[in-house]
Amino acid sequence: MPRRLLLVLGDQLSVDKGALAGADPERDVIVMAEVREEATYVRHNRHKIAFLFAAMRHFRDELRELGYEVIYFDLGAGLESIEEAVRRALGQCGAQEVRCCEPGEYRLLDAIRGWELPVACEIIEDDRFLVGHDAFAAWADGRKSLRMEYFYREVRRDYALLLASGGEPAGGRWNFDAENRSGWRGKATLPERVTPTRSAITREVLQLVEDAFPDHPGDLARFSYATTRAAAREELQFFLDHCLQDFGRYQDALAEESPWLFHSVISMYINVGLLDPLAVCNSVEERYRAGHCDIAAAEGFIRQVAGWREYVRGIYWLHMPGYEQLNALAAQRPLPDWFWTGDTDMRCLSRALQQTLELGYAHHIQRLMVIGNFCLLAGLDVQEVCDWYLAVYVDAFEWVELPNTLGMALHADNGVMASKPYAASGKYIQRQGNHCKDCRYTPSKTTGEKACPFNSLYWRFIHRHAQRWEKNPRMALALRNWRRKSHDEQAAILGWADSVCD
């Protein structure tokens, strides 16, 4: 049998999937590499780079224990690109073919397709998802609109997730979203999160990243991510034991006191292969069946992983390349510099930005309804915003970041992802949490020094795209409310909105 070189990328750390499916330690050699190009194509948060390098090094050791020969280039080897690493490894091991699993970003897939290696290079489909490319394309085929809810029901059926007898949904409904919208009033006890122990490998990587990427964001003194499979499982266990029961209720909440609330903080582990998405869903369902959490919590969580996560991935590959260029609302205002410091008087925004930059994490409502909402209403440049999101979050890879940002948050894809924009005034943010009480602005005011900037920006957004909303019944109420205002009031709001942005 000819020797094969198996390429494993930093977000492909699954022992028996991807390029490693059916691998044989007798025959195959594995190559992994820390390279500058992947670390700098956007200004990645240092947490993201450190998490990936440390997890890669632990995975290398896991593979060696399984008997594999692993050629591992650390950053000190000075390699620029993945291609250079593959060429160097081929020179060392003399393999007669290369196999890799498709990357999660079109950018890199395109590059790999263009490699001119001395041996053949096979690219196989990523099998770490519940729904493959063909299955998603078949589901999407002929549908006028691709709504997540219908897709999600099929995934539930196909994987027998939360089903009662006869294939009906457990609890009698497919969706318990309506139960999952409580705001945060500081009433529930927040779980005390424990920082995973840092291994010698992780400590070494933290120092390396600190030294090698001085101008990237991220406060590594606060690094608290798991970097091994076992530690990632412990993080999941923590969520099941201490957060799941309250997850649904506070899923959409915003809190001054905590960056995490009752969220699982496991997206990074699922995305790089340290946790398996189906196993995660099954463990949540087990908790529900054992009576440890209610249906709204279990369904709310499984909808995110088996529904949204698979759905956005399907949308990405269905529409790439080309999706990344969309800018349906012609948003072109440059990203403000303070997106890299969090220095703004808008309390909700500064809290979300600061924790994002310092920790590489913000939960969904901060990403969508605080930061994303601001970008949408202010008309910030779509590509700049997407690059920012790709850089700052530990869990960000383009297959998941782009549809969520460009499609869901910025409504730049002509409504492929969402039938109406996720646009909201300060009242929504006030309802969902307790940031407003510590803010210099007031959510009940729309113009004047104390006015919450989200309010005038919201109305300007409705006004600017009024023609578009006329064709969208879901925006009819907002449009009617805007048109009910007097000419003078409209002019004052629009004038104030312009001053807010300048």
Using CB under 6 A as the criterion, which residues of the chain lie in contact with ligand SF4 when the complex forms? 346-348, 426, 429-430, 435-436, 439, 441-443, 452-454
Sole window of 102-110, 299-307, 324-332, 372-380 interacting with ligand DLZ (rule: CB under 6 A): 102-110
Q: How many residues does the chain have?
A: 502
Which of ligand FAD, ligand DLZ, ligand SF4, none sits in contact with 347, Cβ below 5 to 8 A by type? ligand SF4
346 binds, among ligand DLZ, ligand FAD, ligand SF4, none (CB under 5 to 8 A by kind): ligand SF4
Q: Which does 267 bind (CB under 5 to 8 A by kind): ligand DLZ, ligand SF4, ligand FAD, none?
A: ligand FAD
Coil/strand/helix, residue 7 = strand
Please compute Rg for the chain using Cα positions: 23
Least distance between ligand FAD and beta carbon 177 (Å): 13
Per rule CB under 6 A, is residue 70 in the interface with ligand DLZ? Answer: no
* 137 alpha-carbon distance from chain centroid: 22
Q: Which of 82, 101, 85 is nearest to 93 (CA)?
A: 85
**For residues 7 and 497, which CB has a smaller minimum distance to ligand DLZ in the complex?**
7
Give every CB contact of residue 296 below 8 A, 6+ residues apart in sequence. Answer: 171, 176, 179, 180, 248, 249
Tokens of 276: 């398996």
Q: 106 or 458: whose CB is closer to ligand SF4?
A: 458
Q: Where on the chain is the footprint of ligand FAD (CB under 6 A)? A: 263-267, 270-271, 301, 304-305, 308-309, 312, 363-364, 367-368, 372, 389, 393, 395-396, 400-401, 404-405, 408-409
Structure-block tokens of residue 119: 């041996």
What is the tally of helices (H) and strands (E) in the chain? 23, 5
Q: What's the rounded Cα separation, in Å, for the pair 356 and 367?
A: 9
CA diameter of the chain: 80
Which lies closer to ligand SF4 via its Cβ, residue 55 or residue 478? Answer: 478
- 410: nearest Cα among 356, 344, 465, 361: 465
Beta-carbon contacts of residue 61 (< 8 Å; ≥ 6 apart): 201
Q: Which residue lies nearer to ligand SF4 by CB, 314 or 453?
A: 453
Q: How far is the CB of 430 from ligand SF4 (least distance, A)?
A: 6
Cβ distance to ligand DLZ smaller for residue 59 or 458: 59
Nearer to ligand DLZ, 28 or 34 (CB): 34
Residue 9 in contact with ligand DLZ, rule: CB under 6 A:
yes
Q: Measured at the alpha carbon of residue 83, what is the angle toward residues 80 and 89, in degrees to the nearest 5?
A: 100
Phi, psi angle pair for 17, to nearest 5° = -130, 180
Is residue 394 part of the contact set for ligand DLZ (CB under 6 A)?
Answer: no
Binds ligand DLZ (CB under 6 A): choice among 44, 287, 363, 465: 44
Choose the one of ligand FAD, ligand SF4, ligand DLZ, none that binds residue 496, judging by a C-beta under 5 to 8 angstroms depending on kind. none
Six-digit token pair at 350?
């500064």
Q: Which is nearer to ligand SF4, 441 or 482 (CB)?
A: 441
Size of the site for ligand DLZ (CB under 6 A): 17
Residue whose CB is less far from ligand SF4, 92 or 444: 444
Binder of ligand DLZ out of 184, 301, 339, 397 (CB under 6 A): 397
Is residue 223 within 8 A of residue 50, CB to CB? The reply is yes
Contact region for ligand DLZ (CB under 6 A) — 101-109, 253-261, 307-315, 423-431? 101-109
Contact 30, 90 (CB under 8 A): no
Cβ neighbours of 25 (radius 10 Å): 13
- What element of type H or E holds 288? helix 277-289
Closer to ligand DLZ by Cβ: residue 73 or 461: 73
108 binds ligand DLZ (CB under 6 A): yes
User: What is the distance between the alpha carbons of residues 412 and 397, in angstroms, rounded to a whole number?
Assistant: 19
The 3-state DSSP class for residue 30 equals strand
Q: Which two tokens stand for residue 323?
A: 């999706």
314 touching ligand DLZ, by CB under 6 A: no
Q: Which residues bind ligand DLZ (CB under 6 A)?
A: 9-11, 33-35, 38-39, 44, 49, 52, 82, 103-105, 108, 397
